[in-house]
Amino acid sequence: MRLSGAAASLAFFMAASALPISMFNSKRDYPPVISPKVFVINMFEYEAKPWLKAMDFPNNVTTPGLSPLYPDIYCNEEFSVCEMTTGEGEINASGSMTALGLSPMFNLTQTYFLISGIGGGEPQFTTMGSVTFAKYAVQVALQYQVSYQEFITTNKNWTSGYWGYGVSDPWTYPANVYGTEVFELNESLRDRAVELAETVDLDNGTDQNAVNRLLYDQDAARALPAVVKCDVLTSDNYFTGNVLGDYFSAYASMMTNGTAQYCSTAQEDNASLEALTRLSQAGLVDFARVVVMRTISDFTRPPPSRANDTVAWFNDPQSGGASAAFANLPIAGMPFVEDVLNNWDTIYLTGETYAPKNYIGDLFATLGGEPNFGKTSFEVA
C-alpha cells in the first residue's frame, strides 16, 4: 500500500463487521487441488476487508510461506474465487506470491489474477477514489542515490539525487538493470477489465475529498473519481512531492522507451509480477492472465497552495480520507470477477478472445517475444 496522512480515515474499516469465514472442519471439504478461476491479491488488511465483505468466502486455506500476518487464503463456496493478502512492500509481496505459486494445494495454470490495491495518484490523471488499470509496472527506486547536500553544489541541474545503474547522470538510460524494472501486461485483458469497471457507479468519497480536489488545477484531480488506463510504479521508498514525482515519471517513461504513462504509485506490483513471471516461466501460472488495479487513496503531490511546504502537507493533507479508494476495490473489480465466472467456458478458459496483442513480460523477454523497451543486451551489474 501507499497511504499518506496518518491512518486518519481508517476508522470506518476498523469497524467493519465480522468476516463470514469458517474453518474447514474435515479433510473431505477440500478439493484435492484448488483451481480458482480468479485470484484477488491484496497487500494489507484494509484492501482485503472490502472484498471479504463483498463476497462470501467460507473456505479458509492456511498456506505455508505466506506472511505471518496473513497466513490464510480465503475461497468462496465453489473454490472458483480466492483471496490472498501478501503483506506490504516488495519483499513481502514477492515472497507470498512465490509461496502461493509453489503450493501443491493450488493449480493456478488457468487462473486470472486481479492485483487489487490502493496507491497515490498523479493529479493530471486521477483523483482520490479513481480506479487505475496498468499496462506497465515500473520499479523506480532500483537506482543509485545520493543525498541533496552532496549534489546540489556540484551537480546543479540534478533534481532528485537518483541516477541509473552503470551511467553517470539522471538523463541517461541505464547501462545495466536487475531485470525487474519493467513489466508489461496483457493489454486486451486490461482493456476488458476497464470496459467492465466503467459500467459501475464508483464511490465518490467524502465531502472533504470534494473540497480537497478543488485545491488542484488539473481537470482530472478536480473531477469525480473515474476509471483510468495508466501505469503503476513500484517503490519500497514511499516518496512524495513534485520533484520526485517529476523525476520518477520521467524515469518510468525512459525505462519503457517512452510508452509508460505513470499515474499510480505502489510498493508491491513489480515484486508480485516478478514472482508471477518466474511462475509463468515454469508453467505454473499464465502471465497473460494478470490484471493490476490500483485505486487512488491520496495525491502524490501537494496542491499549489501548499507546495511551499510539502512535508507539512504530507503529514497533514486534510484530504478527507481514503474511504473511496478502499470501497472502489470491489466496486470496480467485481464486474471483472463476475465476467470471468459467467463466461468461463466461452471466453476465459482458452483465453483466446482477449489474447494479448502486445508484448507481455519483463525487460529480458523471459517469456518470449520482443519488448519495445529495454536493450538487446545490458552490461553485467
Site residues (vs ligand NAG, CB under 6 A): 19, 21-23, 33, 35, 60, 62, 67-69, 72, 87-88, 92, 107, 109-110, 136-140, 142, 157, 171, 173, 180-186, 188-189, 201-204, 224, 234, 255-257, 260, 269-270, 273, 288-289, 305, 308-309, 348, 351-356, 360, 372-375
Contacts of 269 (CB under 8 A, 6+ apart): 93, 115, 117, 134, 137, 183, 232, 234, 292, 294
**Minimal distance, residue 258 CB to ligand NAG, in Å:** 8
Cell numbers for 8: 486518519
In this complex, which beta carbon is closest to ligand NAG, that of residue 56 or of residue 72?
72
Tell me which residue has cell 493450488: 106
- Grid cell for residue 180: 525487474
**Choice between 176 and 257, CB closer to ligand NAG:** 257
CB of 343 to ligand NAG, least distance (A): 10
The secondary structure of 220-272 as a DSSP string is HHHS---EEE-EEEE-SS---SHHHHHHHHHHHHHHTTT---EEEEESSHHHH
* Cβ-based nearer residue to ligand NAG, 87 or 320: 87
Closest distance of CB 124 from ligand NAG, Å: 19
Backbone angles phi, psi at 309, to 5 degrees: -150, 75
Select 8 or 19, whichever has its Cβ closest to ligand NAG.
Answer: 19
User: In whole angstroms, how close is the CB of 147 to ligand NAG at the nearest point?
Assistant: 19
Q: Quote the crossing angle between the two packed helices 269-281 and 90-102, to the nearest 10°.
A: 30
Nearer to ligand NAG, 173 or 364 (CB): 173
Least separation in angstroms between residue 8's CB and ligand NAG is 18
CB of 339 to ligand NAG, least distance (A): 10
Please give the grid coordinates belonging to residue 48: 482485503
Judged by CB, which is closer to ligand NAG: 93, or 298? Answer: 93
The Cα–Cα gap between 115 and 270 comes to 11
CA gap 381, 378 in Å, rounded: 8
